[in-house]
Structure 1
Amino acid sequence: MNPTLGASPLRGETGDTPVRLAILDDHEVLLDALSTWIERNAPDFDVVLGAANWLDLVQSPAFPTDLVFIDLQLKEPISIEARVRTCRAAGAKVIVLSSLDTREARERAFAAGAAEFLSKSLPMASVMAAARRVMGIEAHDDDDAARAASTAPLQHVKPKLSPGEEEAFKLYVSGYSTVAVAERMNVQYETAKTYLRRVREKYAKVGRPAGKKAELIRRAAEDGYLE
């Protein structure tokens, strides 16, 4: 993914300038999924910068933005404190997103100056409701429930996958097509397709939708399959 996304023109019925948003996440498939969801569902935000590593973020001509979403668990040896403080010093507000939701992680993020710490298990509607609150944007009519949900991680059950289902799942959310998954696993196309169908069904049975690819990617991030 190109680390700098083209800024879009003013959007929304009011004609107000959307919040310039940057996203730092080293799982590029998830980065694309987040950007696409926001583009389609949150016209009051404009993802002008998507970065898979720290240097791509801070060296981009689009930086600083108004708000930055930062993944807590980057593979790079740069502390969350350093990342948050750098963004704050540049004038950007920060929301930390993480699949690791512990008291220590929250305290570190807030002590460094993060405006919010959110679990990746939250629905995107809840994440954006929190982002609007941080930026002082008037909430949408349907944001009340999402705002309440954003203050605590969503409890969820991780479905038990077979070895074949887990392997197909990891490959698929890493960017491989179903055909490519079958080739990598050395199985028939229909077998790979069945593995992925079963993964979706198992997530649905525990109340965690995964029918769409973007939803499946979020489930993978929540449960550590993209680590």
Structure 2
Amino acid sequence: MGGSDVARTGLTTVAVVDDHPAIVAGIESWCAAADPPARVLAAGATPGVAWTGPGSEADVVVFDLMLSGSVPHYGDLRRLVDAGRHVVVYTMREDRDAILTCLDIGAFAHVAKTEGAAHLVHAVHAARGHVPYTPPAMARAICTDTRPGRPALTPREVDVLVNWFACESKEMVARKLNLSVRTVNSYIDRVRVRYANAGRPARTKAALVARAIQDGVVSLEDL
């Protein structure tokens, strides 16, 4: 079955960037056994696997931050995000600085390898479906973030933001709040600009959720 055939089935497809064969084998097994299942289209020890061949068509890239060494591959993560790829960072790094840096760059979620199969599979499906997902280490990092740069949001911006987090689409938010989709997009774009101007960019929905939790706009229990 080719990449386009897989896409037509609605199956979540994955490219795995990890230099540990046992980890790759585990991810392939977890994805196949998931409900609903996902399929690993390509896997390799360098980011090139996500840029060429079947990996270039994958819905989600599972990315090991610490490939072949002790230096985080933030540059490769940024290039994937800038290209519009949905990236789930899956790594042994679970310290707050690493997690928050990944979210700042635009990773959809950060899953620590100690958190296991269920969290990774949930994060992969969430990334494909554009819905928030906060594994435990990521939640702890968000809740203990004390960095400055909290922008002032208007009550209407907060209202739109909270409803967007709770809904599957902007169309649903528009119907609920009796707004046009264009107006909903405008509010969300303004919030992104406010955060970018404060030095805390939020390129993805997951990153914007993280910002909102950090700033007390929503709580984890609300998601």
Give me the TM-score of the superposition, normalised by structure 1: 0.51
Q: CA RMSD in A?
A: 3.3
Match of 2:52 among 46, 51, 59: 59
Alignment of 1:95-134 (within 5 A): 95-134=88-127
| Cα-to-partner distance string for 1:53-104 (whole Å, 9 max, x where unaligned) | 2233333353142211101111168753212222123321111111121011
Identity %: 22
Matching residue's letter, 2:53: S
Shift of 1:135: 2.5
Runs of 4+ in 1 over 4 A off after TM superposition: 5-11, 76-79
Distance 2:38 2:129 in 1: 13
Shift of 1:124: 0.8
Match of 1:94 among 78, 87, 97: 87
Q: How many residues align?
A: 139
Shift of 1:115: 1.0
Alignment of 1:120-199 (within 5 A): 120-136=113-129, 150-152=135-137
Distance 1:138 1:104 in 2: 24
Distance 2:46 2:84 in 1: 20
Note closer, same or farther for the CA distance 1:151–1:6 as it changes in structure 2 (3 Å cut). Answer: farther
Note closer, same or farther for the CA distance 1:36–1:52 as it changes in structure 2 (3 Å cut). Answer: same
| Cα-to-partner distance string for 1:172-219 (whole Å, 9 max, x where unaligned) | xxxxxxxxxxxxxxxxxxxxxxxxxxxxxxxxxxxxxxxxxxxxxxxx
Matching residue's letter, 2:56: F
Distance 1:111 1:102 in 2: 14
The answer to whether the aligner puts 1:33 opposite 2:31 as a matched pair is no
Runs of 5+ in structure 2 lacking a partner? 139-223
Give me the TM-score of the superposition, normalised by structure 2: 0.52
Pick the structure with more helix per residue.
2
Question: Does structure 2 conserve the Cα–Cα contact (< 8 Å) formed by 1:24 and 1:52?
Answer: yes
Shift of 1:50: 1.0
Distance 1:9 1:138 in 2: 24
Runs of 5+ in structure 1 lacking a partner? 140-146, 154-227
SS in 2 for 1:152: helix
Matching residue's letter, 1:152: A
